[in-house]
Amino acid sequence: GYQLAMVEIVKGYSMNDWREDLKRILMQAGVKDKPTTFLYSDVQIINERMVEDINNILNAGDVPNLYAPEDMESIATVCRIECQKRKIPPTKLNIFSQYIIRVRKNIHLCVAMSPLGEAFRNRLRNFPSLVNCCTIDWFTNWPAEALQSVGLSILRTNDLGLGEFEQHAVTMFKQVHLSVENASKSFFDMLRRKNYVTPTSYLELLSSFGKLIGVKRMETSTKKDRLQIGLDKLSETKKMVSVMQEELVVLQPQLVKTQAEVSGMMVEITRDKASAAETKAKVEVEEAKANAKAADAKSIADDAQRDLAEAIPALEEAVKCLNDLKKSDIDEVKSLKTPPGGVVLTIKVCCLMFDVKPIKKNDPNNPGKKIDDYWEAGQKSLLTDAKVFINSLFTFDKDNIPDRIIKSIASYMDDPNFTPAAIERSSKACTAICMWARAMYKYHFVALGVAPKRARLKEAEDELAVVMEQLATAKATLQEVNDRLAMLEKAFNEAVEKKDMLEKKEASCKVQLSNADKLVGGLGGEETRWKETVEVLKEAYVNILGDVIVSAATISYLGPFTADFRNNLVKSWQTALKSFNIPHSAGCNLESTLSDPVKVRSWQICSLPSDSLSTQNAIIMDNGRRWPLLIDPQGQANRYIRAMAKDVSFAVNGMDVVKLSDKNFLRTLENGVQFGRWVLLENILETLDAALEPILLQQKFKQGGQEMMKIGDNVIPYNDIFKFFMTTKLANPHYAPEVQVKVSLLNFTITVVGLEEQLLGVVVAEELPELARQKADLVVSNASMNKQLYDIESEILYLLSNSKGNILDDTVLIETLAQSKKTSEEIKQKMSEAESITKEILVQSELYRPVAKRASLLYFVIADLGDVDPMYQYSLPWFTQLFVRGTAAAKTAKELDQRIINLNDYFTYSVYTNICRSLFERHKLLFSFILCVKILQGENMIDALQYRFLLSGISPHRVDAPLPDSTWLKENVWSDLCDMAGLEQLRKFPECVTTYLDIWQGIFDSSDPHTAIFPPPFNNVSPLERLCILRCLRRDKMDLAIQDFITQFLGDRFIQPPPFDLKACYNDSVTTTPLIFILSSGSDPNKELDILADDLNMSDRLKRIALGQGQGKKASSLIEKGMAHGDWVMLQNCHLSISWMPTLEQVCDNMEPDKIHPEFRLWLTSMPSESFPT
């Protein structure tokens, strides 16, 4: 088979590295002759020359100037043989040709490229081998059948227990995928935002579903079981209470009766104890006598025993040797044909000991005479059965050896040949027998000396027996008394025990009743809520399937979409769930299924906006498998992540913030992966560094039992606490599909509602600072108390579910539960108080809602100006600062209503004047009009259909009417009027024109038609309707009409832009924010800047540089010096040095106000450019 070869792009990967990798792969195919598949993706293209090399390989199998001399030697060594085989001269050219043939035979090049964008088309034009030498295979979207098949296969493989709903669930997955594909087209058509739906998204959906359904089932069943156990314990307790009360009624008379019995027994026991004492005294006298006799007998016995002790060691030694004696040893002696003298002597003594008669045999030395043969006699009598013989040695009656036997063996005891040492030379077995015989002989004489003493001992023992008999009689009498006493005491103890038991039972019942009262009283209030919750959880468990489908789909697909698109898609999925009869909760969505109120509140404390879109994004970040890439033009996601990272309950090991432009960003990533730190990668553009691939794809592997990850050339341990976040400031980035499938793309662009809430907080903080502080404190304390309540309930349920035996006996547990409940009630009381305070605060805060709403609308007006010109970019922090300044500068008023009017009027005009500074003259009226319309829309004073017609000329229904006979009314004008008649309020307009043709001609010919009075019924049209009419009749007067429209609602100051005041701009500026001159053809701001520099004595410290090729380093040096010395630095023509702009952005991001001279300012000039950093 083929070996797969790829190149690994790391930070700092250069063309030299590429050539080395390419050479390695080609030589593997040509020199080692290994079939190789070279897989190359356009993600790995960091230089277009790499594509040229691929083109050369496809075309010729070679890359010019690739091989060094030593490589050519390796090639020659291998391919010279090829030349010899083919019988061609082994010249350098022929050898290399053979090498190329081997390369082309073995190399199989697979090039993966995305067809999106200009790059693909340009590469096909520039490198024709990509078309001519490749088989093109298009991997397009999966058809519906493939979605169905793959979904069913994966569900069955994972066995998620969906049962009858399995087919419906797969159909639902397919429906979700196809609906998002369609929504993505609408998303682009309406908002010009690109979102790609790929098969990988579908696989992610299936993966998320499998993970989430398991988690939700476990979570729901655990909650339900714990609550059910708590309810069961309460139910059991209630049943036990009535039983215990009945028991107490029965126990009382039993306890009285038992106490009387105990008292009677006590009197009888006292009487019998006196009788027992007399008997005991008599017994003690008899016992003393017996003890004296016993002492005498013992003294005699001890004396005899001392004498016997003299023979005991020899006897014990003999017994020890006999223990070592084996049957085989005796059999060995028996089998001797000519036994040694020592053996014969031992057997002879043994025969004498056991009184075995010798066999008479002829004496070989004295013919005619007989000798005694003890050897043969011993063989036949003693050694026949070895076991019996050994046993006889042990059981020999050593205390009664006849004197004749002692006399017969006496001579042998002094015989030097009959010693253990002498006999051991002949036989081991006979040694033990010798020792035994000598021990018996010695024991006999010791026993003779002990005999008189034994006689005395016998007399003493007889006397002792008489005394002991008398003692036994006395003891028997005492025993009878004691037995009766014991019986009485036993009965007494039983009665006392019974009394104690009854008292304990009574006390236990009282304690249990008290505990039951505490338990039921303490948790009784929870019982109803728990019952309701259990029922809800039972239903929720059934509905998990549909709920999780919606949540998994949201996590997998909806990240890039805005709130409106998300809501529409979720509603369509809810409808589909109904149509497929899949169980689900009403209105199920991501928040209702996966949000944890305590966790969400803690996120919001960390600066997460409170709107639904932001909450959904946070939940996706918390539950998604892929690392999040956050579209964050206003920087709120960045602030949220940074705030979370400061909380050790979220980021245990802290967080590092890096940019792709940082030199050591890869090292920071490695440290994060290894040590479990969070890493925030800021300001990424539309492409991702290939070095991020292992982290984005989470390419972990096991090594030595530990999870590892290879980043660049380093293999490092993977820490599960590691988290990775990416943010981009681009408002509408276009990420290729291969990027979108690797990350969880989340649209964190601020919403109107979210910004309104933020600005409400700002205005309340400025107007009512004490109230704002109190509100902030309450948010934190409420979050803490909510968590405490949750923890306390968890502890109560845990204690209930883990209690053993009768819960009412566990006083410690009951006390703990009671204390927990008490704490819970205290917290609820505090929360109730806090809630009432919060309501008061909200009421006070809501009074300023109109100010926040107006400011929010104004921000979205200026945010949309970027569509007019790419240079019109305004940050949310700048807008917030402007809002704060406006709040402080607005005219005060005694009445709150008037104060709100003053705030709105001042800030609206402040926004107008500040924005007009940065607008081209031709866009200022447009801005005023959009500003006016947005304000009126916020007050529901703009008809949406009329406004759409004004902008696009489209109405819901065109009214077809015949063109009146006139010379002034042209067909195109009439067509527009008929289109306008599709609006309900202007439906009769064509009829009015036909009726009052002459009047309308006068208006049409008038020099000021925008002020003319229209004939009835249109003599009182609204200002917006007047604009619609003029759009059709006299477009040339629209500017004047729009000015009248603005004047009517906002006043004439909004159509009189303030003159350009550079000094005011300077006064509003700060050291860390550049001032940008947006150029138009022929404009030159240098003169204005020189005048300002003269006024402020900065002429000598104004440094200028015109940007262009190679000027970046000089500009960086000027900025660095300017920050140190307080110079003004002017960088001209930034649009001519777009490639250096990211560096300039990094310089500005890294500016620290504390380290910059207060007089330093950075001035920039640029023509409008989409590439200018935002």
Kindly give the pairing relationship between strand 678-682 and strand 723-728: parallel
Q: Could you count the other beta carbons within 10 Å of the beta carbon of residue 361?
A: 12
pLDDT of residue 722: 95
For helices 199-309 and 166-191, give the axis angle rounded to 10 degrees. Answer: 130
pLDDT of residue 425: 85
User: What's the rounded Cα separation, in Å, for the pair 310 and 762?
Assistant: 112
Q: Report DSSP letters for 974-1032, one per residue.
A: HHHHHHHTTSGGGTTHHHHHHHTHHHHHHHHH-S-GGGPPPPTTSTT--HHHHHHHHHH
* Residue among 627, 658, 655, 659 nearest 641 (CA): 655
Q: Report DSSP letters for 394-432, one per residue.
A: HS--GGG--HHHHHHHHHHHT-TTSSHHHHHTT-HHHHH
662's tokens = 């940082």
pLDDT of residue 1121: 92
Contact 934, 912 (CB under 8 A): no
| Residue 127, SS3 per DSSP | coil
Q: Could you count the other beta carbons within 10 Å of the beta carbon of residue 1028?
A: 26
The amino acid that residue 201 corresponds to is S
pLDDT of residue 807: 61
Contact 37, 108 (CB under 8 A): yes
265's tokens = 């027994």
> Is the N-terminal amide bond of 1017 cis, ω within 30° of 0?
yes
State the DSSP code for 657. Answer: E
User: What's the rounded Cα separation, in Å, for the pair 81 and 92?
Assistant: 13
pLDDT of residue 514: 67
b/e 229-246 (16+ beta carbons within 10 angstroms → b):
bbbebbeebeebbeebee
User: What's the rounded Cα separation, in Å, for the pair 95 and 72?
Assistant: 10
pLDDT of residue 560: 94
| Residue 799, SS3 per DSSP | helix
Helix/strand number for the chain, H first, E second: 42, 17
* Residue among 1043, 920, 910, 1033 nearest 966 (CA): 1033
Q: Is the dihedral of CA 1045, 1048, 1049, 1054 positive or negative?
A: positive
User: What's the rounded Cα separation, in Å, for the pair 1154 and 1152?
Assistant: 6
421's tokens = 């040492």
Per residue in 981-1016, pLDDT (tens digit) is: 999 899 999 999 999 999 999 999 999 998 999 998
* Count, residues in the chain: 1174
pLDDT of residue 945: 92
For helices 386-394 and 312-324, give the axis angle rounded to 10 degrees. Answer: 160
Helix (H) or strand (E) holding 40: strand 36-41
| Residue 844, SS3 per DSSP | helix
* Residue among 1081, 1087, 1153 nearest 1123 (CA): 1153
How far are the Cα atoms of 374, 376, 409, 1164 from residue 354, in angstroms, in the given order? 12, 15, 11, 134
How far are the Cα atoms of 148, 162, 206, 578, 976 from residue 155, in angstroms, in the given order? 11, 9, 8, 21, 57
pLDDT of residue 293: 73
Q: Is the dihedral of CA 1012, 1016, 1020, 1023 positive or negative?
A: negative
- Residue ranges for the chain with pLDDT beneath 70: 11, 237-238, 241-252, 255, 297, 300-301, 303-312, 314-315, 318, 449-451, 453-455, 457, 495, 498-499, 502-503, 505-527, 804-810, 813, 817, 820, 1174
Q: Could you count the other beta carbons within 10 Å of the beta carbon of residue 1119?
A: 22
pLDDT of residue 359: 86
The amino acid that residue 876 corresponds to is L
User: What's the rounded Cα separation, in Å, for the pair 399 and 379?
Assistant: 26
